[in-house]
Structure 1
Amino acid sequence: MPAAPADTVLTEPVTGPSAWTAADFTGESDWVVVLTPEEIDDLETALAAAKARGIPFEQLTVEDFPLPVLGKTFEAAVQELEFGRGFTLLRGLPVERWSLEEARLAYWGIALHLGTPVSQNAAGELIAHVKDYGEGEVTESATRAYRTRSELPFHTDSSDIVGLLCLRQAGEGGVSTLASSMTVHNHLLAHHRELLGLYYRGFVYDRRLEEGSDELPYYRNAVYGYFHDQLSCRFYMTHYIDSAVPKSGIPLSGIERHALRLFQDIAGMDEHRVEMTLRAGDLQLLNNNVVIHGRSAFRDEPGRRRDLLRLWLNTRYARELPEDFAAFRRGMPRTW
Structure 2
Amino acid sequence: MPAPSADAVLTEPVTGPSAWTAADFTGESDWVVTLTPEEIGDLETALAAAKARGIPLERLTVTDFPLPVLGKTFEAAVQELEFGRGFTLLRGLPVERWTLEEARLAYWGIALHLGTPVSQNAAGELIAHVRDYGEGEVTESATRAYRTRSELPFHTDSSDIVGLLCLRQAGEGGVSTLSSSMTVHNHLLAHHRELLGLYYRGFVYDRRAEEGSGELPYYRNSVYGYFNGQLSCRFYMTHYIDSAVPKSGIPLSGIERHALRVFQDIAGMDEYRVEMTLRAGDLQLLNNNVVVHGRSAFRDEPGRRRDLLRLWLNTRHARDLPEGFAAFRHGMPRTR
Please state which band the TM-score falls in when normalised by the shorter chain. Answer: over 0.9
- 1:41-69: CA deviation from partner (whole Å, max 9, x where unpaired): 00000000000111211210000000000
Secondary structure at the residue paired with 1:265? helix
Secondary structure at the residue paired with 2:280? coil
The answer to whether the 8 Å contact 1:9/1:225 transfers is yes
Secondary structure at the residue paired with 1:205? strand
Secondary structure at the residue paired with 1:197? helix
- 1:196-235: CA deviation from partner (whole Å, max 9, x where unpaired): 0000000000000000011000000000000010000000
- 1:50-99: CA deviation from partner (whole Å, max 9, x where unpaired): 00111211210000000000000000000000000000000000000000
The answer for the alignment partner of 2:184 in structure 1 is 184
The answer to whether the 8 Å contact 1:58/1:108 transfers is no
- 1:10-65: CA deviation from partner (whole Å, max 9, x where unpaired): 00000000000000000000000000000000000000000011121121000000
Residues 275 and 322 of structure 1: is their aligned pair in 2 closer, same or farther, counting only changes over 3 Å? same
Give the count of matched residue pairs: 336
The answer to whether the 8 Å contact 1:6/1:201 transfers is no
Secondary structure at the residue paired with 1:188? helix
The answer for the alignment partner of 1:82 in structure 2 is 82
1:140-219 equivalent positions in 2, closer than 5 A: 140-219=140-219
The answer to whether the 8 Å contact 1:152/1:294 transfers is yes
Which ranges in structure 1 are unaligned for 5 or more consecutive residues? none
How far 1:322 moved relative to its partner? 0.5
Moved segments of 4+, more than 6 Å: none
Q: Distance in 2 between matches of 1:18 and 1:12?
A: 15
Q: Distance in 1 between matches of 2:188 and 2:281?
A: 37
Calculate the TM-score normalised by the size of structure 1.
0.99
Q: Distance in 2 between matches of 1:103 and 1:144?
A: 23
Secondary structure at the residue paired with 1:208? coil
Calculate the TM-score normalised by the size of structure 2.
0.99
Task: Tell me whether 260-269 or 1-10 shows the greater mean CA deviation.
Answer: 1-10
The answer to whether the 8 Å contact 2:3/2:325 transfers is no
Q: Distance in 2 between matches of 1:98 and 1:58?
A: 20
The answer for the alignment partner of 1:47 in structure 2 is 47
The answer to whether the 8 Å contact 1:222/1:234 transfers is yes
Sequence identity of aligned pairs in percent? 93
How far 1:178 moved relative to its partner? 0.1
How far 1:4 moved relative to its partner? 3.4
Q: Distance in 2 between matches of 1:284 and 1:334?
A: 26
How far 1:324 moved relative to its partner? 1.1
How far 1:154 moved relative to its partner? 0.1
Q: Distance in 1 between matches of 2:109 and 2:118?
A: 14
Task: Tell me whether 228-237 or 51-60 shows the greater mean CA deviation.
Answer: 51-60
Q: Distance in 1 between matches of 2:232 and 2:55?
A: 38
The answer to whether the 8 Å contact 1:5/1:324 transfers is no
Q: Distance in 1 between matches of 2:8 and 2:217?
A: 29
How far 1:6 moved relative to its partner? 4.5
Q: Distance in 2 between matches of 1:117 and 1:68?
A: 21
The answer to whether the 8 Å contact 1:121/1:334 transfers is yes
Residues 114 and 316 of structure 1: is their aligned pair in 2 closer, same or farther, counting only changes over 3 Å? same
How far 1:2 moved relative to its partner? 4.0
The answer to whether the 8 Å contact 2:3/2:222 transfers is no
Secondary structure at the residue paired with 2:41? helix
Secondary structure at the residue paired with 1:179? strand
The answer to whether the 8 Å contact 2:6/2:226 transfers is no
How far 1:3 moved relative to its partner? 3.2
Q: Distance in 1 between matches of 2:156 and 2:44?
A: 31
The answer to whether the 8 Å contact 2:86/2:291 transfers is yes
